[in-house]
Structure 1
Amino acid sequence: MIAELGSVFSFAIFAASDDGGASPWLLLAGPAGGGGVYFLSWRYYRNTHKSHAFERETRVEAQSITGDEHKIKSITGTKKSGIDGANQTDHRRRVQRLP
């Protein structure tokens, strides 16, 4: 395969030198290179070739649930619906300027 690519590349160089201008292979090199860079950076940052499939590769043994349900505390008779020191309406006090 490398020998075939080498022969195609050398043929393209000779073809470009014969007509004295840019050949179509040069115009295709830009998008092909861009696509290659995009694919390699996507593969590098996504790590799709190195990812760990937790659902398939990890075995978790199910156990019975243990514990108690006891009521600890109950708050009744609350009359205030607000919070002490609330500042949602005073934006000058809430937002301070940077020095």
Structure 2
Amino acid sequence: MSDDSGLWLLAAGPAGATALYWALYRYYRNTDKSHAFEHETTIDAKPVTGADRKVDTITGTQERRIRGDNVRAYRTRVQRDRDSPPPV
């Protein structure tokens, strides 16, 4: 009888691990509650509009950098949106 009573304990380990894995998977994935965007959403496609305008042509240049670039001036390239609140 003592051999049979310990058998359930051996089976409880893998069964418990499987149940824990499944519960965590369901909790974090929410596969039954997720929104299938591709199937449930309609998108009205509109024709592409716009125009191309040629600005300038430089041929045969030997310069390694573009005049007036702002690669190293981060603060002048990226500016905070005036409507957004300050970061916390």
Whether these two folds match at TM > 0.5 is: yes
Partners of 2:58 and 2:27 in 1: CA distance: 54
CA apart distance, 1:82: 6.7
Residue aligning to 1:94:
none
Distance 1:66 1:79, change over 3 A: same
Which secondary structure does the structure 2 equivalent of 1:68 belong to? coil
Partner of 1:64 in structure 2? 47
Deviations 1:2-37 (A, max 9, x none): xxxxxxxxxxxxxxxxx2454322211110000010
RMSD of the TM alignment (CA)? 2.3
| Higher helix residue share | 1
Q: Highest CA radius of gyration, 1 or 2?
A: 1
**Gapped regions of structure 1 (runs ≥ 5):** 1-18, 84-99
- The residue correspondences of 1:24-43 to structure 2 (distance < 5 A) are 24-43=7-26
Give aligned pairs, total: 65
Alpha carbons of structure 1 residues 73 and 50: separation in structure 2 relative to 1, 3 Å: farther
- Write out the 4+ residue segments of structure 1 that deviate beyond 3 Å after TM superposition: 80-83
1: CA distance, partners of 2:58 / 2:33: 52
Q: Would you say 1:75 and 2:58 are equivalent positions?
A: yes
Identity %: 49
For residues 75 and 46 of structure 1, do their structure 2 counterparts lie closer, same or farther at Cα, with a shift above 3 Å needed? farther
Q: Which structure 2 segments of 5+ residues have no match?
A: 67-88
